[in-house]
Amino acid sequence: MKLMIVIALIAVAFLAVYIVGCSPKANVFGQPISETTVTSIGDIFKRAEQFQGKRVRIEGKITDECPAGGWFFLQDQTGTIYVNLHPSEFAIPQVRGQQVIAQGVVRREGTQIEVIGEGVQIK
């Protein structure tokens, strides 16, 4: 009888490890990042009309962010861009200074160019 209890406990432990190991990563918010090509922020600003309405993957460091996690400024070696998460209805935790991958759609309104964030992965 004790052997069956021990085997059952071991099985439960393995199941718990499997479930935790296969659960979504805690550092991914919104939709999973699917774009594989990284677009520089400088290219988005240089060719804003070409990128308008297009989905992009950008990578860099968060330099400023909303206290509630609804937007942030992302900086790479070529520039800084505003990433708005409010339209996609998700937020990220406070991670100023950390490297992230962001995916979203480029939007230009007047002189303002931004990315409507669809997914963010904290590195």
Q: Is 45 in a helix, a strand, or coil? A: helix
Q: How far apart are CA 24 and CA 32, in angstroms?
A: 10
Domain 27-122 has CATH 2.40.50.200: yes
Taking only the tens place, the pLDDT of each residue in 100-112 is 999 999 999 889 9
Q: Please provide the average confidence, as pLDDT, over all residues in the chain.
A: 87
- Residue spans of the domains in the chain: they are 27-122
Average pLDDT over residues 62-81: 97
pLDDT-based confidence at 5, cuts 50/70/90? low
Q: How far apart are CA 35 and CA 15, in angstroms?
A: 32
